[in-house]
Amino acid sequence: MRPIWKGSITFSLINIPIALYPASRHEDLSFRMLRASDLSPVNFKRVAETDGREVPWEEIVKGYEYDEGKYVVLKEEDFRRVDVEATQTIDIIDFVRLEEINPVYFDKPYYLEPQKSGAKAYALLREALRRTERVGIAKVVIKSRQHLAAIKPQGNALVLELMHFADELIKPTSLKIPANLDVGTREVEMATDLVRRMTDEWNPEKYTDDYRSALLNLIHEKIEHGGRTPPGKGPKKRKATNVIDLAAVLQESLDQAEAEAGSGNKSRRRRQKNHAA
């Protein structure tokens, strides 16, 4: 795997040479726009709004709309003038407790790998973060854009997680969210019991993208059927729980959770017995 960025972590007078690697991947399925009559691929043209004429790339400039219909054009030298990518540093500004950060601020993780001369300082920062239970809050420029980021220890590695700036987050003030509703004590106790029964240890391998798998299966089935959709029904829509039936639904959910727990215990005992044999 090739690094997407090379630079250094800096805090106070310490400088740690590192390389940045992606820690996640997106596996979205790619679709083409086609004409229905003959499945001919449809391409998009760059057309000017004023006269509908196609515009070649060499005649296109970048403009910022500062007022309705009014633009200021920015050239490449303008972008270079404000570009801070040349610093190639992850500048740690503060150290804070991880639990103090609202999870909505986190966006995308990257692995940090120390370069030859930075291994000891890398390990030193990792252990200091682990012992103090802190993360480093930093600023870094990647692909000509500055990001807020957090540096966290994860096993033997340091992870850089890009974050949103505060002004990038939308507050939910316009949403109709219930505040202090009169929720019955019995319902709260039953819901709490249900949460406890459904609680398990975190295992990320347990969760997979069911939609992508189902869509791929459908694509393969359509290929086998000459492009026709195979017979079958889609998933049933689940109705919202009626407030009047809430207690009954909670009790039914508890019974189901208890039955599933009993089935799981039997399976575990069976596996342990077979293993012992």
Residues 10, 89 contacting (CB under 8 angstroms): yes
Q: Which of 6-20, 31-45, 148-162 has the highest mean pLDDT?
A: 148-162
Rounded Cα distance between 88 and 16, Å, is 12
HSE-CB of 115 using CA atoms within 13 angstroms: 13
Work out whether the CA dihedral 89, 93, 95, 99 comes out positive or negative.
Answer: negative
Beta strand 145-154 pairing with 62-67: unpaired
The answer to whether the CB of 127 falls within 8 A of the CB of 45 is no
pTM: 0.67
- pLDDT tens, residue by residue, 194-224: 888 888 888 878 877 777 787 788 778 778 8
Mean pLDDT of 10-30: 85
Percent of the chain exceeding pLDDT 70 equals 85
Cβ atoms of 265 and 258 within 8 Å: the answer is no
Where are the chain's structural domains? 5-26+82-168, 185-199+208-276
For residue 85, pLDDT beyond 50: no
Max mean pLDDT among 106-110, 145-149, 207-211 falls in 106-110
Fold assignment, 5-26+82-168: Ku70; Chain: A; Domain 2 (2.40.290)
Task: Report the pLDDT value the prediction gives residue 86, as an integer from 0 to 100.
Answer: 46
Specify the 3-state DSSP secondary structure of 61: coil
Between residues 179 and 46, the one the model is more confident about:
46
Q: Tokens 């690697």 label which residue?
A: 21
Whether 89 has a pLDDT exceeding 70, the answer reads yes
One-letter identity of residue 106: F
Confidence tier at 123 by pLDDT (50, 70, 90): very high
